[in-house]
Amino acid sequence: MAFRPLQDRVLVRRLEEDEKTKGGIIIPDTAKEKPMRGEIIATGPGARGEDGVLHPLDVTSGDIVLFGKWTGTEVKIDGVEYLIMKESDILGVIEDADAARRAA
């Protein structure tokens, strides 16, 4: 993939949630909500402040993040769906990323 976000934008791949509830009920695709958790695939260089200084992003590739339900722009690159969003749209970084990947 040859895609590089500009300024303070990031490219995020949604992490799929479980298809079953804790009680074992299988959730059909039509009733599922879109995941609000994703993995940072690529980041821009950062935003320029009013003073012209480049401020780097707090997130890096590989970080697992939480974001709002209606955040970002959905795009398809090489047949894979991604979200492009500003860093300010990210609510937080999940620190224990290995456990988050295993749960997804």
- Domain positions in the chain are 9-95
Instruction: Quote the tokens at residue 85.
Output: 């969003």
The pTM of this model reads 0.76
pLDDT for residue 3: 86
CATH 2.30.33.40 fits 9-95, yes or no: yes
| Pick from 9, 26, 14, 7: nearest CA to 76 | 14
Query: pLDDT tens digits, residue range 50-96?
Result: 998 999 999 999 999 999 888 899 999 999 999 999 999 999 999 87
pLDDT at 32 over 60: no
Percent of the chain clearing pLDDT 90 (strictly above): 54
| Pick from 5, 93, 71: nearest CA to 43 | 5
3 neighbors 77 (Cβ within 8 angstroms): yes
